[in-house]
Amino acid sequence: MLKPLAALTLACLPLLSSASELAGVWTGTLGKSAITVCFNGAHGANGSYYYQRFLTPIQLTQANTSEPWAEEGHTGFWQLDEPQGDTLTGIWSKALGGKNLALSLKRVDTDSCASDAYNNALEAAAPPVTVEKRTFNAHAYQVKTQGGHVSLRLEGNAPGIDMINRDLARMAVGTQGQADFYRERRNALDQSGGTTTSEISVEPFYWSSQWITVRFYQWTAGYGRGGISWGLHSWNLQTGQSVDPWTWLGGQQEWDNPYAGQVKLPATFSAWLAKQTSVDEGCPAVTSYSSFDLSFNTQGMQLSTPAQGDGCDNELSFTWEQLEPVLTAEGKAALPSLKAP
């Protein structure tokens, strides 16, 4: 006697849509707000949506087919009915079981979240700008982020700061503009509905009354440890001139971009360095490397090779007194300002 009643109860439950049925790009409304939505049927239960007036993608994921779709950070929940062809309805709520708004969507494309149909509107507008105020040893600065461009702006009254800030602004803009950022975002949207792009930071590394060194760091999305690169760039705060510390040792850094470069050790410094170091068994000599971090402070210079985790990493420090025999005339002329706090 209970079986017919059970069957009737099940029949009254809403049919929840599956990820494969939702694949494509949809437009419509959430409440009264116009939205664009995409679902990646080929890559499981994930998707994305944005309000057409805000153009900020929000990831959507579904733990299993019996649960609603959840926005990133659980800022909202979607319960979707089974699609009727290219028409989709459902409800949105800020909290499960809370007050809801109607969802009404029409499918406009069958491609994934990487498609032009989903991304063209996002890429037609400039990425949003964020500005953070920070300090480094009581020195104030700002970091501005816009898409794949991260720029540093120094504050203070040193004579050369304005010229340095112009250099820093120029270095923040890559030759490809925002193209790499958009490409990486499309790839992330396609794989997970997320918006993960390369991690980029530009921060002071050393700051005295006379000198500043800035570290440009990038971890390219999708490349693991092999995608990590960084570069140290220095300026004279009094003149605003960019200075290559390798010239104080007779060499020159060759930069591929602000994050990566190489140097050939100058012969005199290489011979001197070989005498200051020993070679561990199974490790290359420090003089055989072509990539180094060379930094300085009031006490001297620091030289390191890229960390590989193989026990062969080099982190060396030399005082200005130790280095004086191999300093060029330019390096010796800079010594008084280099030693100044």
CATH at 219? 3.30.565
Check whether residue 275 and residue 222 sit in a common domain.
no
Check whether residue 155 and residue 230 sit in a common domain.
yes
Burial of 105 (0-12, 13-18, 19+ CB in 10 A): buried
Distance linking the first and last C-alpha atoms of the chain:
90
pTM for the structure as a whole: 0.86
Burial of 308 (0-12, 13-18, 19+ CB in 10 A): exposed
Predicted pLDDT at 2: 38
Other C-beta atoms closer than 10 Å to the C-beta of 273 total 19
CATH at 33? 2.40.128.50
Tell me, yes or no, whether 4 lies in a domain. no
Coil vs helix vs strand at 323: helix
Coil vs helix vs strand at 202: strand
Residue ending a domain, among 68, 91, 124, is: 124
Tell me, yes or no, whether 202 lies in a domain. yes
Poorest-confidence range of 1-10, 30-39, 96-105, 280-289?
1-10
pLDDT at 112 over 50: yes
Tell me, yes or no, whether 191 lies in a domain. yes
pLDDT at 232 over 50: yes
Check whether residue 210 and residue 255 sit in a common domain.
no
Tell me, yes or no, whether 168 lies in a domain. yes
pLDDT at 16 over 60: no
CB 12 within 8 A of CB 104: no
Other C-beta atoms closer than 10 Å to the C-beta of 261 total 19
Check whether residue 237 and residue 137 sit in a common domain.
yes
pLDDT at 253 over 80: yes
Mean pLDDT (whole number) for 99-116: 97
Check whether residue 227 and residue 249 sit in a common domain.
no
Tell me, yes or no, whether 106 lies in a domain. yes
pLDDT at 156 over 70: yes
Mean pLDDT (whole number) for 259-286: 93
Check whether residue 117 and residue 136 sit in a common domain.
no
Average pLDDT along the chain: 91
Mean pLDDT (whole number) for 154-170: 97
Check whether residue 234 and residue 327 sit in a common domain.
no
16-43: burial string, b at 16+ Cβ within 10 Å, e else: bbbbeebbbbbbbebeeeebbbbbbbeb
Tell me, yes or no, whether 5 lies in a domain. no
Poorest-confidence range of 22-36, 165-179, 222-236, 263-277?
165-179
pLDDT at 182 over 90: yes
Nearest alpha-carbon partner for 49 in 18, 75, 67: 75
Quickly state the pLDDT bin for 18 (edges 50, 70, 90): low
**How far is Cα 82 from Cα 13, in angstroms, rounded to an integer?**
12
Check whether residue 194 and residue 90 sit in a common domain.
no
Quickly state the pLDDT bin for 226 (edges 50, 70, 90): confident
Check whether residue 218 and residue 267 sit in a common domain.
no
Check whether residue 113 and residue 133 sit in a common domain.
no
Tell me, yes or no, whether 261 lies in a domain. yes
For the chain, the domain total comes to 3
Residue ending a domain, among 81, 99, 124, is: 124
What residues make up the domain containing 335? Answer: 244-341
- The token duo for 104 is 């009404």
Tell me, yes or no, whether 3 lies in a domain. no
Check whether residue 50 and residue 88 sit in a common domain.
yes
**How far is Cα 137 from Cα 140, in angstroms, rounded to an integer?**
8
Check whether residue 217 and residue 179 sit in a common domain.
yes
Residue ending a domain, among 103, 124, 145, is: 124
Predicted pLDDT at 225: 82
Query: DSSP assignment, residue 16?
Result: B
CB 288 within 8 A of CB 277: no
Ramachandran region of residue 177, left (φ > 0), alpha (ψ -120 to 50) or beta?
left
Q: What are phi and psi of 173, to 5 degrees?
A: -95, 115
- Residues in the chain, total: 341
pLDDT at 265 over 70: yes
Coil vs helix vs strand at 251: coil
